[in-house]
C-alpha cells in the first residue's frame, strides 16, 4: 500500500512538469550499419575507455584506449567510469579534433536508431550478465540495427565486433541505467543534434521526461526495483531529494544487484541532502566489503561527504584525499577538499 501512495504522490509532483516528447514518427531505414568505428577489445576492467575510444575513431581519433584510461581511471583497478566523466574526457582532453560528448537519459530504441542513421555515434550504459559473471555495468557502442530481426549490432569491447543484441535485451538491461546514452558530435553539427533530440535537448526537461518514464514503469510493475531506482535518480537530478530518498528506499527494499552502487550514486546524494549520513556510511561499508567497491573513488568521496555532514572534518579530509590518490582527476573530491580547506582556514 505504501508503494501505491508514493506513486500517487509522484504523479502529483510530475504531472505539472511534463512536456511533449519529440516526434519519433520519422521514417527510418529498416536496416542500417555505421561505418568507421573502432574494433579494439578492452583491457582488464577497461570497458569505458575502450568503448569511448572505438566511438572516437569515427572522427579520425588515432590513439588507443590507454590514453582515455590514463585520464579516466589512473588506477587500473578502478571499477567505474561515470558517463559525465566520459563526456568530460571528450570535451576537455582531445584538443586535436573538434569532438564533443553529450549525456542524456530516458532514451528509446527509435532515438538510438535516429542518431545512428544521422551519423552520430552513440554509446549506452547498461546492465551486463555475460556467461560466468554476476551482474555488472557495461558500456556498449552501437554499430547498426535490423528491424526485421529486431536486433542491434554493436562493438562490444568485451565480446568483439558485430556482437548482436535483441531490442528486448537492450531495453531490459538499458533500463538498469535509466536508459542513459552518450552521443558524440562535431561542433558544426550541434544544432542538428539538438533538433534530433527535440525536447530532450534541454537537460532539465530531459530529467523530467526520464522521471515520467520511470514512474510509468513503476505504475505498471510496482515490484520493479529498477523503476523505483530510476525515479530516485531523476528526482535527484531535479533537486527533489526527499522524494528521491523515498524512491531509493523502495528500490533497495525490493532488491538491487549487489554491484549497483559501484556505478550509480543517487542514493548517496539523496541521503546526504536529507541528513541521512549513517545510511550513506552503511552503503559505503557494503561497497568496501564486497570485494570491489573499495576500488571506486566515489565510495571514498561520499564517505567524506557523510563524515563532513556529521562534523567529522578530519576524517572527511582523509576520505577526500583517498579518493584523489585513487583518481587525481576526480573533480568532485577536489572541489570538496578545497571547500573544506577554505572553511577551516
Residues 117-140: pLDDT tens digits? 999 999 999 999 988 889 999 999
Q: Is the pLDDT of residue 20 over 50?
A: no
Q: Is the Cα torsion angle 245, 78, 302, 85 positive or negative in sign?
A: negative
Establish how many alpha carbons lie within 13 A of residue 112's alpha carbon, considering only the half-sphere containing its beta carbon: 30
Confidence of residue 345 (pLDDT cuts 50, 70, 90): low
How many H helices and E strands in the chain?
A: 16, 7
Q: Categorize the per-residue pLDDT at 159 as very low, low, confident or very high, splitting at 50, 70 and 90.
A: very high
Question: What is the pTM for the complete model shown?
Answer: 0.93
Asked if pLDDT for residue 23 goes beyond 60, the answer is no
Average pLDDT over residues 163-167: 98
Q: Which residues are registered as beta bridge partners of 124?
A: 140, 181
Q: Residue 164: exposed, middle, or buried by beta-carbon count in 10 A (0-12, 13-18, 19+)?
A: middle
Window from 122-131, 170-179, 287-296 with minimum mean pLDDT: 287-296
Mean pLDDT of 152-158: 97
- Sign of the dihedral through C-alpha 88, 142, 122, 108: negative
Backbone angles phi, psi at 82, to 5 degrees: -80, 155
User: Rounded CA gap, 133 and 67, in Å?
Assistant: 27
> In the prediction, which pLDDT does 21 show?
46
Q: Averaged over 288-316, what is the pLDDT?
A: 90
Confidence bin at 44 (pLDDT 50/70/90): confident
**What mean pLDDT do residues 157-174 have?**
97
C-alpha cell of residue 317 = 579530509
Residue 247 carries which DSSP code? H
Residues 6+ apart with CB under 8 A from 116: 32, 34, 122, 142, 143, 144, 145
Share of the chain above pLDDT 90, in %: 85
Reply yes or no on whether the pLDDT at 297 is more than 60. yes
Taking the C-alpha atoms of residue 216 and residue 25, their distance in angstroms, rounded to an integer, is: 21
pLDDT higher than 80, residue 22? no
pLDDT reading at 14 higher than 60: no
The stretch 156-179 carries a mean pLDDT of 97
Q: What is the pLDDT of residue 275?
A: 98
Q: What is the pLDDT of residue 329?
A: 95
- Residue 266: all three cell numbers together: 543517487
Contact 305, 268 (CB under 8 A): yes
Q: Please determine, for residue 64, whether its predicted confidence score (pLDDT) is greater than 90.
A: yes
Average pLDDT value over all residues in the chain:
93
Query: Are the beta carbons of 101 and 183 closer than 8 angstroms?
Result: yes
Q: Quick one: average pLDDT of 91-112?
A: 97
User: Is 141 in contact with 39 (CB distance < 8 Å)?
Assistant: no
Q: Among the listed ranges 150-159, 265-274, 334-343, which one has the minimum average pLDDT value?
A: 334-343
Poorest-confidence range of 33-37, 261-265, 286-290?
286-290
Pairwise pLDDT comparison (122 vs 44), residue with the higher score: 122
224 closest CA partner among 75, 79, 7, 11: 7
- H-run or E-run covering 138: strand 136-146
Q: Is 99 left (phi over 0), alpha (psi -120 to 50) or beta?
A: beta
pLDDT for 294: 73
- Arithmetic mean of pLDDT, 264-276: 98
255 dihedral zone (left: phi>0; alpha: psi -120 to 50; beta):
left
Query: Given pLDDT bands bounded at 50, 70 and 90, which one contains residue 26?
Result: low
Q: How confident is the model at residue 1 (pLDDT cuts 50, 70, 90)?
A: very low
Give the DSSP H or E segment for 341.
Answer: helix 331-344
| Consecutive H or E run containing 146 | strand 136-146
Q: Give the model's pLDDT for residue 19.
A: 55
Q: What is the pLDDT of residue 291?
A: 64
Buried b (16+ CB within 10 A) or exposed e, 195-216: ebbbebbeeebbbbbbbbbbbe
> What is the spatial distance between Cα 107 and Cα 179, in angstroms, rounded to a whole number?
5
Amino acid at each position: 500500500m505504501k508503494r501505491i501512495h508514493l506513486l500517487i504522490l509522484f504523479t502529483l509532483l510530475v504531472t505539472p512538469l511534463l512536456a511533449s516528447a519529440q516526434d519519433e514518427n520519422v521514417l527510418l531505414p529498416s536496416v542500417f550499419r555505421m561505418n568507421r568505428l573502432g574494433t579494439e577489445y578492452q583491457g582488464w576492467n577497461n570497458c569505458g575507455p575502450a568503448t569511448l575510444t572505438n566511438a572516437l575513431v569515427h572522427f579520425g581519433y588515432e590513439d588507443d584506449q590507454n590514453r582515455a584510461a590514463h585520464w579516466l581511471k589512473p588506477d587500473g583497478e578502478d571499477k567505474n567510469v561515470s558517463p559525465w566523466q566520459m563526456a568530460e574526457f571528450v570535451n576537455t582532453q582531445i584538443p586535436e579534433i573538434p569532438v564533443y560528448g553529450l549525456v542524456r537519459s530516458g532514451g528509446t530504441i527509435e532515438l538510438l536508431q535516429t542518431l545512428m542513421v544521422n551519423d552520430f555515434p552513440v554509446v549506452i550504459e547498461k546492465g551486463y550478465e555475460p556467461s560466468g559473471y554476476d551482474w555488472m555495468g557495461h558500456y556498449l557502442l552501437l554499430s547498426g540495427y535490423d528491424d526485421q530481426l529486431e536486433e542491434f549490432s554493436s562493438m562490444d569491447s568485451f565480446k568483439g565486433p558485430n556482437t548482436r543484441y535483441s531490442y528486448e535485451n537492450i531495453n531490459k538491461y538499458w533500463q538498469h541505467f535509466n536508459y542513459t546514452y552518450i552521443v558524440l558530435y562535431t561542433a558544426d553539427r550541434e544544432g542538428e543534434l539538438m533538433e534530433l533530440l527535440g525536447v530532450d535537448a534541454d537537460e532539465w526537461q530531459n530529467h523530467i521526461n526520464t522521471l515520467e518514464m520511470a514512474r510509468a514503469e513503476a505504475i505498471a510493475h510496482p515490484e520493479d526495483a529498477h523503476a523505483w531506482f530510476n525515479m530516485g535518480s531523476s528526482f535527484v537530478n531535479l533537486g527533489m531529494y526527499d522524494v528521491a530518498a523515498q524512491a531509493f528506499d523502495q528500490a533497495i527494499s525490493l532488491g538491487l544487484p549487489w554491484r549497483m552502487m559501484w556505478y550509480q550514486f543517487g542514493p548517496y546524494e539523496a541521503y546526504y541532502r536529507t541528513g541521512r549520513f549513517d545510511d550513506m556510511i552503511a552503503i559505503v561499508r557494503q561497497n568496501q566489503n564486497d570485494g570491489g567497491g573499495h576500488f571506486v573513488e566515489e565510495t571514498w568521496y561520499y564517505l567524506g561527504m557523510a563524515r563532513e555532514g556529521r562534523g567529522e572534518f578530519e576524517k572527511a579530509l582523509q576520505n577526500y584525499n583517498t579518493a584523489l590518490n585513487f583518481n587525481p582527476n576526480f573533480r568532485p573530491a577536489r572541489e570538496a577538499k578545497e571547500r573544506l580547506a577554505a572553511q577551516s582556514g
